[in-house]
Structure 1
Amino acid sequence: MIFDGGLLAFVLLWALQNSHLVDVNALESSNLQADLVVYDATPAGISSAIAGSRAGLKVILISPHKHLGGLTTSGLGATDVGAGSTVGGIGREFYRNLRQHYEKPNSWNRQEKSDFKGRGHKTGEDVAWTFEPHVAEAILEKMLTEVGVRVLRNAPIDRTTAATTRSIPWRLIGLRLKSGEMVRGKIFIDASYEGDLLPLCQVPFTSGRESNQQYGETLNGVQNLRATKHQFKEAVSAKVDPKDPQSKWLPGLLPPPHPEDGSADKGVQAYCFRMCLTDDPENQRAWQKPANYDASDYEMLLRQYDLGSTFTPWHIVHMPNRKSDVNNNGPVSTDFIGGNIGYLEGSDEDRKKIFEAHRNWQQGLIWTLAQHPRVPEKVRNEVNRWQPAADEFVDHDGWPWRLYIREGRRMVSTVVMTEKHVRGLEKIEDPIGLASYGMDSHNVHRRIIDGNVRNEGDIQVYGFDPWPISFRSILPPPNSCSNLLVPVAISASHIAFGSARMEPVFFVLGESAGIAAAAAIQQGIPVGEVPYEDLRPLLEKAGQVLRFDP
């Protein structure tokens, strides 16, 4: 979808006149200056920083966290890759480094390499798609050190103010850290999962789900009928007391009336933690009961077992050294459905509370599965067989450092990637990378339908070739912020983002953003004016895959 610039220009002018931007002339001097400033050390942030440094730029990578790597080092070790051949450049270098690590006999300290039966280490491939979190972190740290990227750790920014010029289009001059220091740059990259620089820089964005009508799609918006996976198979009453007609509803449920399928909705697909567990008794931390544990929070889960279920509601993918990446699986599982309301627009303190609420939910879920007498013994035994790995997240009680923000804000620019691009029905001529995963969204809400609980929002559609992502989808619209690139919170509809939102794609888009930033600085032009015919050879030279050859 391509927009006319008139409406965007009006919106941007209003935003600039009504913003909380700081005039560049009011800035104090600072030694935190670089050619390229990258915000958040996600895979996109790391590849952006490495690409910029390799191109000769002075780079500062701002990490709000102590640990780098985003979800790739926070438990998501079972890479959602789609077609692995589409991952080139720095991303492939990272996965190749992982493979080389696991080819060494001394890397297998908890099992013999020959005993590993997990996926992601195919014979004949030069990469590893499954890995331990601490190994991924060490490799990414080494890659950053090798190119001399300056990393600011534990350095959250002040999300209420930014320093810009006052002309239109405006330029971002600096990001203020909460410590008070200003980090100046020529070009900035927002590599955060949340898209936090979008509102800060007054760049148009959206969140939630568009209607199908908005972009002529079929899989966007509210999804009741298609939400058949991770769904209640038996009727589970939505009432606290199913026998009492006057009983209140269980907490966390949306009562009728409900919106029509395909209609717009501001809900965001559920978040969770990707736990790293092990079945090695010598490397386990015991499950801990949350301080505020209340078994009634899991009544929907327990009622399934009352109805005869013997299902263990998680998805385990085996990692090297007897570890696992654990993901959501089932109607009540690790996803805290509805628990992320207010997260994106919330303050740092709000987000911290929501983070802890997710941890309490998931920790309480596991405690229930491991201990509650209404849970079948078979399930309790399986859950207790797996415990948090003692040698992962050692400074965080074995719990992942980062919450899995599956979807945050999404920029709205001149080109919006939609379902039509994913299906190959609309073409773009300026690819900077390929996405290849299915159109995938986790559940968004729990609704009350005919007095019972039903999940809404899950959609998983496959069966299409890898598809190209436009350079313009990572650029703010004209007459907006002229020196910003956005390789994570890209300009895409909810359902198209569901295919693009995987960590390997973020490696790819981040590197392309870093290369584009270097080209703009070297040519002395705004990054949006870098001719694609100049950019493409640079991307190909770096090993980026820009077309799919079956």
Structure 2
Amino acid sequence: MNDHFGLRIWALVGILAFSPGRARAADATFDVVVVGSTPGGIMAGVAAARAGRTAAILERGTHVGGLPANGLGATDIGTRGATGGLFLEFVGRVKRHYVATYGADSPQARDCSDGYHFEPRVAEQVFEGLIAEHKGRLAVFRRRQFDAEPANVDREAGRLVAIRVRDRDSGAVETYRAKVFIDATYEGDLAAAAGCAYRVGREGRDENDEPMAGRLYKAWGGVPGPGSTGQADNAIQAFNYRLCLTRNPEDRVEVARPARYDRDEYLSLADDVREGRTTAPGGKAGKSMALAWDSIGRIVNPVAIPNGKVDANNQHWNFLSSDLPEENWPWPTSGWDWRDHFAGRLRDYTLGLLYFAQNDPALPEDFRARCREWGLARSEFADDGHFPRQVYVREGRRVVGEYSFAAKDAVPTRPDGRPPIHADSVTASHYALDSHAVRKREPGRAHLDGFFSSPSRPYTVPYGVIVPKKVDGLLTPVPVSGTHVGFSTLRMEPCWMALGEAAGEAAALAIEADLAPRRVAVAALQERLVKHGAVLMYFRDMKPGDAHFEAVQLMALRGCLEPDAWLARPDDPVTEAEARRWIEKSGAAGVSPDEARSLKRGELLDRLRRASK
């Protein structure tokens, strides 16, 4: 589609695309269509628009932003600086918001932790700002539901060419055509409807030699215990809501007893509180559990965010918290009627947990009183009873891609070294291998089945994890290809944002070259990504914008730098051995070893990059 036609489409929908629920686009055509306004989806749309393509994002709800706009305000990242690009731009905009609004020395600026901690409403505001800056090319259509049925997609010669969605307000069915589609749903709905192979559940321990795979019982911080068979099954990790809580009286909303309340669900928690029982080794709390442990922190895991609020996640030291294992297993492959029913059940369960902690006589009165200091934040989610609008879907379908990411891709190959380096990396990232429980409490077990956190180091993510096998015209940066254990580290929003950006850039490249996305030149994609500040391979002494940053990133992936080095040392002199090895690895013509030795490391990498293009 030419740009003029794309702009005419935009002129028809215009500003209405940013008015909740009312944009109309029956039978519209764009260069790129993204299903899901998750952070990965938004970054895909923004990247495609910045690359000069027209793009549409289809969102089932009224609000954009996925989990960060729905309570996940404490960013899950193991090493700050390991992920860059649009994610780092998002973080920077968050920080600027708090500094501009409250002052550089304000508590809010301090509590935003350089932009990595934020309130849900601020995350949504930043995402809306990113979208609005590209309204000439990027349209958002809200209240559009895609159902994962084969009848809702059109394929020609193995390529996805059109999809159909339902306007949830009018009931009308709309058709969207594009040269490239991007599945940015947490569930992988579009990929499934298009015929992509996918996995749900856990692989066995022996399939990929992953120690944390399959059935697993281990105390938090301990080692696998009795019952840990490593057997494969269809279990997926638990979902919850990331609550935004506060004890500021001016912002606090009292937690009322939900209409559907079953006291018996929570009584085991009262026993654990009275007896001091936890899932730590030996069953006892340690000093690291001091944060609000005698209050709401015994029920959920609170992390401070600005304006006296906390991001309250599941408390992994407990046998019972805000996660609701087992009941969510059908979610990935179910329709929206079932998902909406479960979302309501999870909401009642969560509110019931808070109500129980604050009011039930089975708990000590002083403990209840301290819990009653907390409530929902009045300044958040005003159109949903101050409760998050979106379930934290930790794991849906995992699309089978050209590469399957496993535990070995995130774990060093030797002590203090790096994980394997993927030459086709489209982002670096870092978080522990991390899964929540898959089953509820079972008598005699050290913890809930499936709960683990296992260390990793900053790793590289190959392009193949977002390229589904067999189906062309589609990229999957959110339901990425990996094992249950491998996916458990990729599933964090910083990585999803970076993969979304890579998908948007890859889509633009594919359109320009008239190729299927799987055929794009990865080297050209990497060039584009590093120009926009993406980190493809993490070095402790380099960050986007530094001199020689782009050359260090690209030439390191070609094997020029020492494979286990965490420092690039761009200002150090080049040794003779380095010069010869780098010239050979780069394949650069016209650079002699004698000339190279007169340069610093960063300067030589720049020369080799230019010479090898």
Counterpart residue number, 1:235: none
Shift of 1:270: 0.7
Question: What secondary structure, in the 3-state scheme, does the structure 2 residue paired with 1:174 have?
Answer: strand
Shift of 1:448: 3.1
**Does structure 1 residue 409 correspond to structure 2 residue 413?**
no
Match of 1:433 among 427, 443, 446: 427
Residues 420-458 of structure 1, C-alpha deviations (whole Å, 9 max, x = no match): 1111444422001112000000111125345x7951111
Counterpart residue number, 2:45: 49
Q: Which amino acid aligns with 2:360?
A: H
Shift of 1:511: 0.2
Residues 139-180 of structure 1, C-alpha deviations (whole Å, 9 max, x = no match): 11011010111100111113222332342x333322333531
Counterpart residue number, 2:17: none
- Do the aligned residues in 1 keep the contact of 2:216 with 2:227 (CA within 8 Å)? no
Residues 176-199 of structure 1, C-alpha deviations (whole Å, 9 max, x = no match): 335311111110000111111121
Length-normalised TM-score, structure 2: 0.75
Gaps of 5+ in 2: 1-24, 278-293, 414-419, 540-565, 567-613
Residues 440-494 of structure 1, C-alpha deviations (whole Å, 9 max, x = no match): 00111125345x79511111111x32111110110011xx210100001111111
Shift of 1:87: 2.1
Counterpart residue number, 2:459: 467
1:61-140 map, 5 Å: 61-106=57-102, 113-114=106-107, 118=111, 121=113, 127-140=114-127
Gaps of 5+ in 1: 1-28, 122-126, 232-257
Counterpart residue number, 1:444: 438
Match of 1:212 among 205, 210, 216: 205
- Do the aligned residues in 2 keep the contact of 1:172 with 1:201 (CA within 8 Å)? no
Question: What secondary structure, in the 3-state scheme, does the structure 2 residue paired with 1:472 have?
Answer: helix
Measure the CA separation in 2 of the matches of 1:396 and 1:471. 38
Q: Which amino acid aligns with 1:518?
A: A
Q: Which amino acid aligns with 1:379?
A: F
Measure the CA separation in 1 of the matches of 2:48 and 2:159. 22
Q: Which amino acid aligns with 1:76?
A: L
Q: Which amino acid aligns with 1:154?
A: R
Match of 2:498 among 500, 508, 531: 508
**Does structure 1 residue 175 correspond to structure 2 residue 164?**
yes
Counterpart residue number, 2:589: none
The change in CA–CA distance for 1:76 and 1:230 in structure 2 (over 3 A counts) is farther
Measure the CA separation in 1 of the matches of 2:94 and 2:518. 34
Shift of 1:230: 11
1:471-550 map, 5 Å: 471-477=463-469, 480-549=470-539, 550=566
Question: What secondary structure, in the 3-state scheme, does the structure 2 residue paired with 1:434 have?
Answer: strand
Counterpart residue number, 1:315: 301
**Does structure 1 residue 189 correspond to structure 2 residue 177?**
no
The change in CA–CA distance for 1:354 and 1:453 in structure 2 (over 3 A counts) is farther
1:51-450 map, 5 Å: 51-106=47-102, 113-114=106-107, 118=111, 121=113, 127-148=114-135, 149-160=138-149, 161-167=151-157, 169-177=158-166, 179-224=172-217, 226-228=218-220, 260-307=228-275, 312-329=298-315, 330-425=318-413, 426-450=420-444
The change in CA–CA distance for 1:545 and 1:454 in structure 2 (over 3 A counts) is closer
Measure the CA separation in 2 of the matches of 1:49 and 1:205. 24
- Do the aligned residues in 2 keep the contact of 1:177 with 1:183 (CA within 8 Å)? no
Counterpart residue number, 2:569: none
Measure the CA separation in 2 of the matches of 1:89 and 1:152. 25
Measure the CA separation in 1 of the matches of 2:190 and 2:78. 29
Measure the CA separation in 2 of the matches of 1:375 and 1:107. 42
The change in CA–CA distance for 1:135 and 1:260 in structure 2 (over 3 A counts) is closer
- Do the aligned residues in 1 keep the contact of 2:147 with 2:336 (CA within 8 Å)? no
Shift of 1:304: 1.7
The change in CA–CA distance for 1:230 and 1:447 in structure 2 (over 3 A counts) is farther
Identify the structure with the greater helix proportion.
2
Length-normalised TM-score, structure 1: 0.84
Measure the CA separation in 2 of the matches of 1:174 and 1:94. 30
Corresponding pairs, count:
482
Q: Which amino acid aligns with 2:165?
A: R
Measure the CA separation in 2 of the matches of 1:513 and 1:166. 21
Q: Which range moved further: 418-427 or 43-52?
A: 418-427
Q: Which range moved further: 529-538 or 34-43?
A: 529-538
Shift of 1:206: 0.4
- Do the aligned residues in 2 keep the contact of 1:172 with 1:481 (CA within 8 Å)? no
Counterpart residue number, 1:247: none
Q: Which amino acid aligns with 1:328?
A: N
Percent of counterpart pairs with the same letter?
A: 30
